[in-house]
Amino acid sequence: MSMASLFDPRTVLLAKHAQHVVLIHFPIALFLAGVTFGLLGTWRKRALLEEVAYYNLLAAAWSTLPALATGLMAWRFQLEGQKLRGLLLLHLILGVASSVTIGLVWWMHRRARLWRRPLPGYRVAVELIGVGLVTLTGHLGGLLSGVNGPG
Amino acid sequence: MRQKKDLLDLAVVTLLALLLSIAGSARADEAANPPGVAVKIDNFTFGPSTLVVARGTTVTWTNGDDIPHTIVATDKSFKSKVLDTDESFSYTFENPGTYPYFCSIHPHMTGEVMVK
C-alpha cells in the first residue's frame, strides 16, 4: 500500500473519507459558539454578542453542506451505498437532523434580524435540541472513527 | 463353539473395516476442505495482521468490536459488507500471492494475507 503524504494534494482530496472527519468539526464548533454567544447576548442584552452569534450560526449553517456531502460520499464510495444498520444508520439520521436544526436556528436569527423583531420564545428550546443532536451525532462519529473508542 | 468364534472374527473384521473407512473419509474431507483460518477484529486491529496460508485456505474475519468494520482488499479482489459485532466474513484464497486489505470505515486498520 502506498504511503500517504501530508503535502500531496491527492492525499488531501482523495484520501478515503478523511475529508468528512475534518470538515465536520466546522459546523459543530461554529454552532456551539453561535448558540453560546446568542444566549449570552440575550442574557447580557449586548447587541454585539448577538451579532457575533448570527455570523457564527450563518457559517455553521453553510458549513453543514460540505460536511453532509462528504459524509454521503463516504457512504456512496467507501461503503458503495450498501444498506446501513446500527451505529452508521443512527449517525446518518442524527447528522441529517442536526443539519436541519442548525439551518432552522440560523433561519430564526436571520428572520429576527430582517424584521427587526426579538427572537421567538421557543428559540432557546430549538437551540438546546440542536446542541443535543450535534453532541450525540458527534459522539457517534467519534465512536465510528475510533476517536471515542477503546483504542 | 466354532460358529461362535467365526461370528466374533467377522465382527472384529467388520469393526476394523468401519474404523478404516471413517478415517479415510475424514482424510478425504480434509483434502477437499482445507482447515480455515480465523482473523479476529479487536480494538481496531486485525489479529493476526499478517497471515501466511496455503492455497485454497478459507480465511474468516470476525468483528469483535462494538463498532462496525469492513474487509476490503486493496486490489478489490474481495470485499465484505459492513460487519456489526460478532458478524463474520469468509473468503477462500485460490491463487498464490500477497493480498493486502483494510477496513474502509477505518483505513488505518490494515492487514495482509500471503498465499503460498
CATH number at residue B81: 2.60.40.420
Give the pLDDT score at A57: 98
B101 and B44 in a common domain: yes
Are B43 and B100 found together in one domain?
Answer: yes
For chain A, say whether B114 makes contact (Cβ under 8 Å): no
Query: Residue B32 has what pLDDT?
Result: 44
Q: What count of other Cβ atoms lies within 10 Å of the Cβ of residue A26?
A: 16
- Using 70 as the pLDDT threshold, list the residues of chain B that sit under it: 1-35
**A1 contact B CB<8A:** yes
Considering the domain architecture, whether residues B3 and B51 belong to the same structural domain is answered as no
Q: Which residues of B touch A148 (CB under 8 A)?
A: none
pLDDT band of residue A129 (cuts 50, 70, 90) is very high
Q: Cell 496460508 maps to which residue? A: B53
Write down the mean pLDDT value for chain A.
89
User: Are B77 and B70 spatial neighbours (Cβ–Cβ below 8 Å)?
Assistant: no
Tally of domains within chain B: 2
Q: Do A151 and B70 touch (CB under 8 A)?
A: no
User: Model-level pTM greater than 0.80?
Assistant: no
Cell numbers placing B28: 478425504
* Residue B98 and residue B111 in one domain: yes
Lowest mean pLDDT among A43-57, A108-122, B6-20: B6-20
B110 and B53 in a common domain = yes
Residue B77 domain boundaries: 37-115
Residue A119 pLDDT greater than 50, yes or no: yes
Say how far apart CA B86 and CA B63 lie, in whole Å. Answer: 5
pLDDT for residue A104: 97
Q: Is the domain of B2 the same as that of B43?
A: no
| Chain B interface includes A84 (CB < 8 A) | yes
If asked whether residues B54 and B28 sit together in one domain, one would say no
Predicted local confidence at residue B11, as pLDDT: 62
In this structure, the answer to whether residues B91 and B41 fall within a common structural domain is yes
Whether ipTM > 0.95 holds is no
**What is the H or E stretch that residue B50 is in?**
strand B50-53
Nearest to A107 by CA among A89, A130, A84, A90: A130
Q: If DSSP codes are grouped into helix, strand and coil, which group holds residue B81?
A: coil
pLDDT greater than 70 at residue A75: yes
Residues B71 and B111 in one domain: yes
State residue A133's pLDDT score: 98
